[in-house]
Amino acid sequence: MQPVCESKGFVERFTLGDGDLRFAVKDTLDVAGHRTQAGCPALAESAVAQQHASVVAMLLSSGCQLAGKTTLHELAFGVTGINPWAGTPLNPCYPELIPGGSSSGSAAVVASGEVDFALGTDTGGSVRMPAACCGILGLKPGYGVLSRQGVVPAESSLDCVGIFARDADVLRQVLHRLNVPVDAPLTTLPEMAFIAAAQPEIDAMLLTTLTRWEIYPQRAELSLLSEAHRAGLTLINHENWQAFGPLLASGKVSADVASRIRRGETVSAQDVHEAETVRQRFSAQMDEQLMKTPLLALATLPELPPTLAEANDPLRVVELTRLVRPFNLSGHPALTLPMGSLNDRPVALQLVARKGNESLLVQAAEWLMRRRV
């Protein structure tokens, strides 16, 4: 496989051995003999990993080839993918736009054709958002489906190892190698509900495309969607303060990321309790909706991805995760797939399924991607 272009998404390249599928991993996953630096100078002298992260070991033992480690938004705590220290990857298909964060490099090396798939992590949309920005597929399995052993940070109630690919069949193959079964391809798509929660022109484009493919989703609402987004922010601030707060004393965490880490210091026990209450209520609301329709669909991003210049304004990017973060809170599996472009910027559809039903998301992605050809 020849790369389409150089994505600048690799922070470290490895010599390839024998195997079929080539993959890369975000530099928050341990690879034996290499430092896990998470795109941050404060970890530049961290101890070398003694063993592979569990998911990396499983893929290598199944015959996959590890091409290298990819860069990311510093400490996986940002949505743009811009990283002055480790480098900002080029968005291969949309070079003026952000690659998305935090798993920016993993999305870029897949979109460029340098690897068949890549691993990232998704705490508040950090696989689905860069996949949407780069015009590829991104799967966040349900919480706990893929092992987080050997992943930074070590503890998280939101974070999931996720997978990037250009083709749904590759997602099928990767999940099989990670012992997550995917059933036979669908002949018909199961019932779907659609939530209109993005900018009107994005929702209109998605619904028009689905109609052209003779898909007529029910309309649905999730009254707790915004509340779940805010609760997810509370918990990630709290957990990142616990995980990364000690690094601030080094003075080697960038000012922007350090300021966001410090926000977690003021999250109270009551704040956490209230966020956990929202988690329970939103999870129940999701379970109820998915009993009515096996698939829930909505835009991945509420607005079109910004340019690199636009992303320098924090107000332009703060709300980009409001349609992805809620499903980290609830723990449901979610997948994003490309649906075309508006004004030369990509638009993506997000599918959500019942817990334990990653299979349906991959099957649905296969079914839908066949209709894009």
Q: Report DSSP state, residue 95.
A: T
Q: Which residues of the chain have pLDDT under 50?
A: 1-3
Structure tokens that stand for 144 in this block? 């706990």
Q: Tokens 């069949």 correspond to what residue?
A: 169
What's the length of the chain? 373
φ/ψ of 23, rounded to 5, equals -140, 165
Ranges of each domain in the chain: 10-370
* CATH of the domain spanning 10-370: 3.90.1300.10
Q: Would you state the pLDDT for residue 2? A: 44
pTM of the model: 0.97
Q: Would you state the pLDDT for residue 4? A: 54
How crowded is residue 359: how many other Cβ atoms within 10 Å of its Cβ?
17
Cα(320)–Cα(324) distance, integer angstroms:
8
Cis peptide before 226 (omega within 30 of 0): no
Q: Tokens 């993918």 correspond to what residue?
A: 81
CA 40 to chain centre: 19
- Sign of the CA dihedral with 116 first, then 118, 122, and 127 last: negative
Cα(294)–Cα(186) distance, integer angstroms:
13
Q: Would you state the pLDDT for residue 315? A: 61
The one-letter code for the residue type at 368 is L
